[in-house]
Structure 1
């Protein structure tokens, strides 16, 4: 007993124990074979998604000059969301053993079909994985249209302040612009002067895809219908993609920039899982298993459901809070949190890690 008390008051031993928590979990998962590639699954899934993409454009050509094309716009947005999920998995190197094959699969899916830069997204997303919800480190909580801390909200004046006070209620309408924002950021990243040779190749793929899309759209449809098609497709794409990522971390504790955290707690305490069945897995690209994805980012997405009970039990055993809610509850939490920042300026550092490490 005295030895345990001594360890609790020795920060080096406590940190070593926390580090071993993840190491032990990783060893168990690896021994169970849960990190093995699922190439057959991904080949079938990629084939089906590419077939659906082609099918949408065949339908587009058959419909011609008709307002029914808006159905094709919605279908295209849903297909592109699934392509983006596949590119995400490949960028995390979940499909192939070869990093080169994974990287180029991600680039071709994102650039050739969606029209986005996988390089830009991967750079941003990797920094998010390294420090989820940590101030000055996680790019997903940088200052943008939405303010994530009272400090950010307090700096705003005029229209920005008006928007911030209502940002929770405006969150879903703002998601309709998320798709356009992703395209703009991708093109800006690829066309910068310091772009690498690979990024210049990717730029050619992305620009060609976007140019071909707009050319076909405005050549085959009157400008009004083409504009409606484009607007609806971007809006649905933004809602589907943003609505899949937003529930995972928004409204979870924010971490001060200088706080040092062990890997398991850094990933689990800042992430939220979404309950649901096969449909939820499909609609969210298995990102509803966000805790497991952050702990094992190169684990194939269909395996995340299998590892979840192991992770949840392990966290409960070691007193690490494991958060899982329904999809509707997660959206309610996100809206309430954003309104708290914008309206009532709640202190975001209500973090269980602070109490843990003080102890």
Structure 2
């Protein structure tokens, strides 16, 4: 197929040929020149010249879906086809995210994950190779086109309501809360000494500060609080690296993969916790049939309390962060994370010594860990986990997430991640607007028969353990099957 475009420019009518990107492709994903596509240019009456555009080629979904490998990645965004293979390594969110949508329609995930669409379009423009043929639907045929259209209409409505505009004062107050807690944690031993009671209170203040820093860096990593992206980037480095002691690049790479394909094995790194925990319905059966027993998985719901809760932050996340910084040579992150430890030692070594300050850091991370583990896992582990099913954006997010009932305490304790459904559908929306859009999302889910789960917090905590116990039973059945 080919699409002929008439372009306006000074000069006479000329014909210019270029390779036709048709059905046949080489092994490396580059098209073979098996035909000619004519680009026609005609003289405009007023003599002005418009910049010529490359001819666009027409593709079917059958052709596009073949380009879904790590070395051959095509995406469809608003019916335009892009070859992102060569550019994937430069993608700020990491190449794996692009691969997760290779050969698929990425229109809604593109709009959901990017703040400045006009700027991103400048990067997409050189990657454009064609568009969907007129007879092809805008999404793959297995998707409900009416559901997709309704969700896109909802997003346009929310944009018109300015629901994606951040309130600078809201986030400034959260940063002020964190800094006040940090200062109080230093002033208290300065004035009252370093007795056990004082030390416990200092650890409590720092634990609250660390947890709220986790939520604030999460906000900054997703949305634009400042008008200039440079300031957002610097603030994210300050909060994540200097206040938290973790790598921004590590978080971006891991967290954005989770967002684009939540609870999809093996694309979501948050559910790939083997060999320590087996999650969902598929992974336990796979381990069981292969007779894999690194740990006694039938008790995983019990050692979740002894291992998962206390060691998520001080061990698992910290080791992953350090490993990625070292292997990828993220020197800026290394410098900023180092400033976190230097600050702690300068602040607290006069009271506790260097070794005591080191213990204090990891006591705080140990105390923070159950808080973050519960908040991050209660909305996903009990929900549907599966292999890739290429669902639409709304269904993908709603099936993999659930909400926790709203209250002033729940909002503060979770950093508004009790509205996990709204956050996953609209990652760049500031959290202070989640409660405003939740009724609209619930209504859309009801219209299309999607279950919108909203539960009490304590029940959500218990559902984590119940889900682990269920997965353990599946592993046992498969492992001991004769």
Match of 1:340 in 2: 470
Residue 105 of structure 1: how far off its partner (Å): 1.1
1:185 aligns with 2:320: yes
Match of 2:338 in 1: 207
Question: Are 1:153 and 1:161, in contact at CA under 8 Å, matched by a contact in 2?
Answer: no
Question: Are 1:94 and 1:299, in contact at CA under 8 Å, matched by a contact in 2?
Answer: no
Match of 2:272 in 1: 142
CA deviations 1:86-116 (Å, max 9, x no partner) are 1000000242343322222111101111111
More moved, 57-66 vs 36-45: 57-66
SS in 2 for 1:253: coil
SS in 2 for 1:169: helix
Report the CA distance shift for 1:156/1:298 in structure 2 as closer, same or farther (over 3 A).
Answer: farther
Match of 1:167 in 2: 300
Q: Separation in 2 of the partners of 1:300 and 1:231? A: 31
Question: Are 1:153 and 1:341, in contact at CA under 8 Å, matched by a contact in 2?
Answer: no
Q: Separation in 2 of the partners of 1:14 and 1:70? A: 54
Match of 2:374 in 1: 243
Match of 1:325 in 2: 455
Residue 204 of structure 1: how far off its partner (Å): 0.4
More moved, 115-124 vs 220-229: 220-229
**Structure 2 unaligned spans of 5+:** 1-138, 478-482
CA deviations 1:247-287 (Å, max 9, x no partner) are 11111111213x11101110111101011301100000000
Question: Greater RCO between the two (CA within 8 Å, min separation 6)?
Answer: 1
Question: Are 1:46 and 1:86, in contact at CA under 8 Å, matched by a contact in 2?
Answer: yes
Match of 2:413 in 1: 283
CA deviations 1:119-167 (Å, max 9, x no partner) are 2111100000000000110010113322113146425755x322x2212
Residue 12 of structure 1: how far off its partner (Å): 2.6
Report the CA distance shift for 1:178/1:151 in structure 2 as closer, same or farther (over 3 A).
Answer: same
TM-score when normalising by structure 1: 0.85
Match of 1:133 in 2: 263
Question: Are 1:78 and 1:236, in contact at CA under 8 Å, matched by a contact in 2?
Answer: no
**Structure with greater Cα Rg:** 2
What is the RMSD of the two structures over their aligned residues, measured on CA atoms?
Answer: 2.4
**Structure 1 unaligned spans of 5+:** 1-9, 348-359
TM-score when normalising by structure 2: 0.64
What does 1:8-87 correspond to in 2, within 5 Å? 12=141, 14-68=143-197, 69-87=199-217
Q: Which has the higher helix share?
A: 1
More moved, 212-221 vs 98-107: 212-221
Residue 236 of structure 1: how far off its partner (Å): 1.3
Q: Separation in 2 of the partners of 1:156 and 1:43? A: 53
Question: Are 2:143 and 2:392, in contact at CA under 8 Å, matched by a contact in 1?
Answer: no
CA deviations 1:160-185 (Å, max 9, x no partner) are 322x2212122233211111122222
Q: Which has the higher strand share?
A: 2
